[in-house]
Each structure stands twice: as C-alpha cells, then as structure tokens.
Structure 1
Amino acid sequence: MADDVKARYRRYLEQAWTADGERLDALAAELVTPDFVIHQARSDGASAEQVRGPAALTKLIRESCSLFRDVSTVIEVGPIVDGDLVAARWRFHGRYVGGMPGATAEPGTEVRFAGTDILRSSGDRFAEYWVVSEGLSLMAQLGVGQG
C-alpha cells in the first residue's frame, strides 16, 4: 500500500504538474476523488475549498503554471507515508512568462522555489491536499513589491 501511495504522489508531482490540456484532465481524474479538496492559503482571500474534485486540481495547476514555461518539479525529500497520509518536499523550476500583477521581473526570468505537500489518500486516490510553499521567495524573484 505505501508503495502505491508513493507512486501516486510521484505521478502527481512529476507528471500532473508538467501536463496540459486533456492529459492534465485525465491525470486529475485518476489521481483525486470527486470531492477532493485543497487546503491552501491564497493571496486573493478566496476560499480554496470552493472548487472540489479533479477540477480543483486542474484549476490549481493551470493557474500556477500559466505564469511559467519550461516547468519542472523535483522531489527533494520523501515521499513519506504514514497511514493514509503522504508527505514530501519538492522544488519547482520554471521561466516566468509575465502576467503577474505587480511583478517587475522580465519574461524569461528563471525562478526556483520549494514547498511541502501533505495529501490524504482515500482508496486509490487522494482526497485532501495541504500545501505550504515558499511564496515569498517566488514573489521576491519576480520583483513583486520592489518596484
């Protein structure tokens, strides 16, 4: 069971975060439950729990990756499985394409930041997701608030 959860997490981080279009939709449907919820602090004050299921995952990935090209994600620590929970430390790399309000970085600027995921499994899919990332580091690299 733990090996299945680790493999599912690897697919989530290494494949879903670099997929697009129909491939992302298919992966999301395979990886998360219909009532999947993301628990995440948002800078816009919106509740991250308003969108559920595979649509929540595809929305998160599309919104996050729309600002970048040449995206890659790497697992740095883990995944570590304890019961129905899996945790891992990851690193994101990409090139900024523009479009973030307040950013002064030029398109093409290379960015790297890390974060930690905890996901709860239910059967053969993930049902809940908690993420903490180095958002302040990303904002600094993009020059947000420095102009």
Structure 2
Amino acid sequence: MVEASAATGQQDARELYRRWIDELWNGETEVVGELVADDFVGHWPDRTVHGPDELARIIGETHGMLDMLSFVVEVGPLVDGELVAGRWRGRGAQDGNPVTFIGNDLLRVADGRFAEYWVASLPLP
C-alpha cells in the first residue's frame, strides 16, 4: 500500500497549499499555526522570515498596502515528495488603481506543515 500512502500524502500537501493561498494569504492569519511549522523559514528575494508570527505579520503588512487584496491559484499545486509548487495571481487596488501581480511558490512540507518557503513574484503591467 505504498502507492496509497503516497497518494494520500500528495492530497494532503495539495490541501495544505490550497489553505496556504485561499485562507492564509487571503488574510485569515489566525490559521498560520495550522499551516506552518514553528521553525518555518520563508525566503523572499529581499528578506528572510522566521516563524509563524513573523509570517502572519508580513501577510498583514501586505494586506495593509493594497485594498481588496485577494489571491487565487493559477497552476498547481504540483507535489513531488516533500516539495509543493504553485503559481498564483494577486489582485488589489492602490489609491483606487488596480494592481495585479503573479508569483511562483516552492514550499517544503515536514510533519504535515510547511517548514520552508521560496517565492518569486512580479507586478503585471
């Protein structure tokens, strides 16, 4: 039954990523402890984030910069062992002007939560 176990693990990782975008990145920061490990490390091009509390703070700051900010998954999630990848689109408004950006996530799962995160994103014209 190794195949069934692997399929279950992939499904769990897909659900974890769905919650990562649909809940956490859409502003429900109270779920952060359910989704990321206590020793979580997030790697952005310009900073490194440590732990669930700092991640929740960064997400809150992001929502504070844009009105009506929301994220949707466009591709994935793709699961390979402990790694999960996905592509998302974010939309919001700043000073009444629409803002759209896309990003690619790579996350490592450990013990049912995300332990490490790499992201690359850019605004769309």
Root-mean-square deviation (Å): 1.4
Runs of at least 4 residues off by over 2 Å:
none
Structure with more of its chain in strand, by fraction: 2
- Write the deviation string for residues 102-145 of structure 1: whole angstroms up to 9, x where unpaired: xxxxx1111101010000000110000000001xx36xx6xxxx
Determine helix, strand or coil for the equivalent of 1:66: helix
Which ranges of structure 1 fall in alignment gaps of 5 or more residues?
97-106, 142-147
- Write the deviation string for residues 83-108 of structure 1: whole angstroms up to 9, x where unpaired: 00000010000011xxxxxxxxxx11
Structure with more of its chain in helix, by fraction: 2
Match of 2:102 among 114, 118, 140: 114
Counterpart CA distance in 1 for 2:115 and 2:62 is 20
Counterpart CA distance in 1 for 2:79 and 2:53 is 25
The alpha carbon displacement at 1:60 in A equals 2.0
Give the alignment's TM-score, normalised by structure 1: 0.75
Identical positions, percent: 42
The alpha carbon displacement at 1:63 in A equals 1.9
Determine helix, strand or coil for the equivalent of 2:108: strand
The alpha carbon displacement at 1:56 in A equals 2.5
The alpha carbon displacement at 1:59 in A equals 2.0
Which ranges of structure 2 fall in alignment gaps of 5 or more residues?
1-8
Task: Show the 5 A alignment for 1:79-98.
Answer: 79-96=77-94
- Write the deviation string for residues 53-93 of structure 1: whole angstroms up to 9, x where unpaired: 11132122112111112111111110000000000010000
- Write the deviation string for residues 24-69 of structure 1: whole angstroms up to 9, x where unpaired: 1x31110000010011111xxxx414xx111132122112111112
Give the alignment's TM-score, normalised by structure 2: 0.87
Counterpart CA distance in 2 for 1:57 and 1:13 is 13
Match of 1:33 among 26, 30, 37: 37
